[in-house]
Structure 1
Amino acid sequence: MKRRTIMWFVGAGALVAIGGGIYAWSTSLSRAFNARRADAAAEPMAKMPVLTEEDIAPLPEPVRHYIGLTGSIGRPIVTEIVMHFDAAMFDAPGEPGMTGPVVQYERFDVPHRLFFMNTKMKGLPVAVLHDFNRDQATMRVRLAGLANVVNISGPELTRTETVTILNDIAFYAPSRLTDPRLEWTAIDDARAKVDFTLGSNTVSAELIFNEAGELVDFVSDDRGMLEKDGSLTIARWTTPLGNYREFDGWRLASEGVAIWHLPEGPFTYGHLRLTHYEAR
């Protein structure tokens, strides 16, 4: 049976007769993204201290090494990021992918996370908006600007997106790995376990590092995959990333995939390539 992923997809069965008006396909969700981003960015932001070697001393050794490699030492701890990606997403194994640009805005103090994608499915324009606002998450997928074909929210989605925020911290705000909401357990010289508490949710992941000290995979059993009936099924989720590059002095993973590990085998449902990164 084909499954829905929680990220960025609309099933073929969701297509409807739309008539005219395709010209308006991207307007409403893009406006919602821009409005929410402006509101989130306008909230007061505390000045963060410069990260020091002393700050990272309590962390497991591979985490300390990784933070140093990313260029985080000697710079203020990151609170806000803006990222642009080129993305390819797949609704099910063997199906054609959907490609398009992604813009992501995130604040880790409040927190806020906004993810917006433009793509097409079967020739029809699709817009996708993920919105994590303080303590609740929503996901909307709009076909041709006329109707939501996915519109979900609730505590299960919020928990799922909490895992996504933890993943973003690990790969794209490594100075935040000192955040007091994180609790670390050392495993060995290439792995460490982390628990992240946000509101009523505590989620966990295992971080895996290569011989060079780079973070190359993130493994969590706390994330939910969207099914056809709108429910979320917990499945192992991994994001092997690599191709580390410099972005304004930050050395970050720039390319990789997202994988659901299902009983019938792994399903690589997404590929992302980072093209632009800003942090403060």
Structure 2
Amino acid sequence: MKTMLIILVFIHGLLHLLGFTIAFNITKLSEVAISVSRFSGILWLVAGLLLINSVLFYINDKDWWWIIAGVALLLSQYLIILNWKEAKYGTLINVIILAIILVSVATAQFKDQYHKDVQEQLDKNANHNSNILTEQDFELLPNAIKKYLKYCGVIGKPKVNHFKVRFSGQLRKDTSAAWMPVTSSQYNFVDSTSRFFFMNAMMKGMPVAGYHRFSNGKAVMDIRLLSLFKVQYKAGKEMDEAETVTFFNDMCCLAPATLLDKRIKWLDSDSHKVKASFTSNGITITATLYFSDDGKMTNFESNDRFAIAADNSFKKAQWSTPIRGYKIINGINLPAIAETIWHFPKEDLCYGSFTITNVEYNPTYLDTK
């Protein structure tokens, strides 16, 4: 949608410049007799320049780009009405651009809460401890976990207090539904058990935005069509427990160095499997981690997550995230390709497939892109 808006507004702006060139006899259209006064020509020039500049401001992430675009559209429509016979089809373009602008502004406002939540936590973590991790730090961990951490290459790297992740992938509701392309960004803050996840998707050609907020042990999922209309909103104890599982999964897959956390209790283990519990804000969840001979984590399973049933109720089901590939990102060998699967009594549902595009540990700034 961003590319469409840029192209459409830019071309629309160039067409407005045509009114200026006709008024000042720079361009002559012999096929059609068009009379444009010099005053109107200047207005066409102003409208065109406003449209083109609004695109440049949009590309450069200026928050007020839409104000310039809105003024340009008002002036454009005024000129179209004055020259209705020759320019009436420009109204359709203006309506399309206005609709895209409204969705873009709604998305920005929806995402603003995500930015505020992240910035608040970044401010609290400004003076974090970044001590270098050594093998001695991992001495008491199960052998499979130590082998995994060595495989990932976290030894000799700074302690992870918080991290930022970007994903691309696809989601679907059930096996009969079409896959939706998804991009997402998230920030996790380890000590406060906070996770802020914002996604953008396309559902049947319509943009969908979603914000998963997990802070102080409370989780909220807010999914909106066009960033305006709520299509799904969930909160409550089931969400709190489910998001605690997700948070622990993030620690295991996205920031392995955080497995030193004292809230993790290592239960049963052998060379290829480790069962663990994680406790935060009065919620304890358990999960089983699976490993290959060379130390790679291959899967994460938990029975403490809740799926949303067809009647919109919660039901507990086994959840897993099998890992399909690793990639070195900023010096750490991470599980970069994974699936998310519900294991229901009658069938398994692979509802998500994700690829990490970037991970940054202990970032000091808010990425608003």
What is the TM-score of this pair, normalised by structure 2?
A: 0.68
SS at structure 2 position matched to 1:26: helix
Q: What are the residue-to-residue correspondences of 1:77-96 with 2, within 5 Å?
A: 77-96=159-178
Percent identity between the aligned chains?
31
Partner of 2:328: 246
Q: Is the 8 A contact 2:241 2:305 kept in 1?
A: yes
Unaligned runs of at least 5 residues, structure 1: 1-17
Q: Is the 8 A contact 2:272 2:293 kept in 1?
A: yes
The answer to whether 1:29 aligns with 2:29 is no
Partner of 1:204: 286
Q: Is the 8 A contact 1:137 1:153 kept in 2?
A: yes
Partner of 2:258: 176
One-letter amino acid of the counterpart of residue 246, structure 1? I
Q: Distance in 2 between matches of 1:276 and 1:242?
A: 17
Partner of 1:60: 142
SS at structure 1 position matched to 2:201: strand
| Bigger fraction of residues in helix | 2
Q: What are the residue-to-residue correspondences of 1:48-127 with 2, within 5 Å?
A: 48-127=130-209
One-letter amino acid of the counterpart of residue 155, structure 2? I
Q: Cα deviations across residues 36-57 of structure 1 (Å, max 9, x unaligned)?
A: 1111211134314322212211
One-letter amino acid of the counterpart of residue 167, structure 1? N
Q: Distance in 1 between matches of 2:253 and 2:358?
A: 14
Q: Cα deviations across residues 121-171 of structure 1 (Å, max 9, x unaligned)?
A: 122211010001122111100111222121221121011000000000001
The alpha carbon displacement at 1:25 in A equals: 4.5
Partner of 2:224: 142
Q: Is the 8 A contact 1:25 1:126 kept in 2?
A: no
Q: Distance in 1 between matches of 2:108 and 2:130?
A: 36
Unaligned runs of at least 5 residues, structure 2: 1-98, 363-369
Q: Distance in 1 between matches of 2:288 and 2:206?
A: 38
Q: Distance in 1 between matches of 2:346 and 2:119?
A: 43
Partner of 1:13: none
Q: Is the 8 A contact 1:139 1:151 kept in 2?
A: yes
Partner of 2:277: 195
Q: Is the 8 A contact 2:129 2:161 kept in 1?
A: no
Partner of 2:51: none
Q: What is the root-mean-square deviation in Å for CA atoms of aligned residues? A: 1.7
Q: Is the 8 A contact 2:162 2:361 kept in 1?
A: yes
Q: What are the residue-to-residue correspondences of 1:217-232 with 2, within 5 Å?
A: 217-232=299-314
Q: Distance in 1 between matches of 2:104 and 2:221?
A: 22
Q: Distance in 2 between matches of 1:228 and 1:38?
A: 36
Q: 1:165 aligns with which of 243, 247, 269?
A: 247
Partner of 2:36: none
The answer to whether 1:277 aligns with 2:359 is yes
Number of aligned pairs? Answer: 262
Structure number with higher relative contact order (C-alpha < 8 Å, ≥ 6 residues apart): 1
Q: 1:38 aligns with which of 119, 127, 143?
A: 119
What is the TM-score of this pair, normalised by structure 1?
A: 0.89
One-letter amino acid of the counterpart of residue 263, structure 1? P
